[in-house]
């Protein structure tokens, strides 16, 4: 029954693949920094006191449920304007634990979509992790593994793990690497932390390439750097143009947005594009007998944008200062679409 449902979902994708002379199945993968998805309970092992009823945000059960509802609303709509079944999988950043993920997939429209969870606790002092939610009708998990961040000059420094999830989508093996690189806590000069994170991501991708040069890899995440920064452009080696990518290389599908001044978050009134999707060379090209890159989208919808006040024109966040404004996140989601020819 599960196999049949997946086939029906794939066929439904075909009609929205505009301009194709042959029928295609289209699959989508997303990423979303959900901005501090914490439960209300105090965890003495992390610094989550602000997100408790007694904390600075007065984080009550009602506010938590509103946050879950808002996140579920966005996630349930990702990719649906193009792919009827929505995203096959979505990477998340800034989730506190598995409990919030279980609450999330049981909320609103997500409750009917039957999504599953891949999550590991990381050593981040604030307690925020990365995770992957996925539709098991469209993506079958084979394996998953967290990779610990280690700064060679700062062994006591801890941050989020990077998450590798390998699975089958559209009958093909796909590797997803979910990231949330260190923040710009020391300003942009703190880029050495993100360069170390980029080295780890590249190590994961290179390991996959070493096993199979045709590995299909999707790197996603809040990189806390723009496509032009050294961590992404130089260390990771993600290229601006498809024509620049050689076998074993990487293409930054989101770079073109940055060139146009389009981003996923704002700082001091200026857009940055920290949330990026980077893919392997094997997902490029015109031979659509296998899954290949079609397009990328920043999911910028009117309801996600603040209409007034301090953050007018920016993504509508959960709080303005310490005031709960019942928003969504200070980041916008990103989505990549892959297409594959199907025969009668």
**pLDDT per residue as tens digits for the range 24-45:** 899 999 999 999 999 999 999 9
List the one residue out of 153, 98, 84 whose CA is nearest residue 131: 98
Task: Please give the residue that has the higher pLDDT: either 172 or 7.
Answer: 172
Task: Please give the residue that has the higher pLDDT: either 1 or 307.
Answer: 307
- Dist CA 338 CA 86 (whole Å): 13
DSSP codes, 100-121 = HHHHHHTSGGGGGTT-EEEE--
pLDDT digits (tens, 9 = 90+) for 97-108: 999 999 999 999
> What backbone phi and psi angles, to 5 degrees, belong to 44?
-65, -10
- Dist CA 167 CA 173 (whole Å): 6
What per-residue confidence (pLDDT) applies to 343?
A: 72
Ramachandran assignment for 178, one of left (phi > 0), alpha (psi -120 to 50 degrees), beta (any other): beta
pLDDT digits (tens, 9 = 90+) for 213-267: 999 999 999 999 999 999 999 999 999 999 999 999 999 999 999 999 999 999 9
> What backbone phi and psi angles, to 5 degrees, belong to 5?
-60, -40
H/E segment holding residue 339: strand 334-341
Token output for 234: 């130089």
Q: How far apart are the first and last CA of the chain?
A: 21
Token output for 255: 């770079």
Report, as an integer, the average pLDDT of 14-26: 61
Report, as an integer, the average pLDDT of 187-201: 83
To the nearest whole percent, how much of the chain has pLDDT over 90? 85
Task: Give the residue carrying structure tokens 């981040």.
Answer: 124
pLDDT digits (tens, 9 = 90+) for 107-154: 999 999 999 999 999 999 999 999 999 999 999 999 999 999 999 999
List the one residue out of 167, 120, 178 whose CA is nearest residue 141: 167
Confidence of residue 186 (pLDDT cuts 50, 70, 90): low
Helix extents (H) in the chain: 2-14, 61-75, 98-105, 191-211, 230, 255-259
CA distances, 43 to each of 47, 93, 182, 204, 326 (Å): 8, 19, 22, 31, 24
């Amino acid at each position: 029954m599960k196999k049949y449902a997946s086939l029906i979902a794939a066929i439904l994708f075909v009609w929205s693949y505009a301009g194709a002379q042959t029928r295609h199945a289209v699959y989508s993968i997303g990423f979303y920094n959900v901005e501090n998805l914490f439960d209300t309970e105090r965890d003495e092992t992390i610094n989550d006191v602000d997100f408790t009823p007694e904390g600075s945000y007065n984080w009550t059960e009602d506010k938590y449920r509103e946050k879950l509802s808002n996140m579920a609303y966005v996630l349930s709509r990702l990719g649906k304007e193009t792919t009827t079944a929505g995203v096959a999988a979505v990477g998340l950043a800034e989730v506190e634990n598995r409990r919030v993920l279980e609450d999330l997939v049981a909320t609103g429209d997500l409750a009917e979509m039957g999504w599953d969870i891949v999550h590991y606790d990381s050593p981040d002092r604030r307690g925020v992790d990365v995770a992957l939610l996925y539709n098991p009708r469209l993506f079958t998990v084979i394996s998953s593994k967290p990779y610990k961040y280690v700064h060679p000059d700062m062994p006591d420094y801890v941050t989020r793990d990077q998450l590798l999830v390998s699975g089958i989508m559209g009958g093909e093996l796909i590797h997803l690497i979910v990231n949330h690189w260190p923040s710009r806590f020391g300003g942009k000069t703190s880029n050495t932390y993100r360069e170390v994170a980029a080295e780890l991501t590249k190590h994961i991708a290179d390991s996959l390439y070493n096993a199979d040069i045709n590995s299909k890899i999707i790197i996603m995440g809040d990189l806390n750097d723009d496509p032009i920064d050294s961590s992404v452009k130089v260390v990771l080696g993600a290229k601006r143009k498809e024509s620049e990518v050689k076998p074993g290389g990487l293409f930054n599908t989101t770079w073109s947005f940055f060139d146009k001044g389009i981003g996923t978050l704002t700082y001091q009134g200026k857009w940055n594009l920290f949330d990026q999707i980077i893919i392997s060379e094997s997902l490029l090209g015109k031979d659509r007998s296998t899954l290949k890159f079609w397009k990328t989208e920043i999911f910028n919808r009117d309801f996600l944008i603040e209409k007034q006040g301090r953050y007018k024109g920016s993504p509508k966040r959960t709080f303005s200062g310490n005031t709960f404004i019942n928003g969504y996140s200070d980041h916008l989601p990103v989505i990549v679409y892959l297409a594959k020819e199907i025969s009668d």
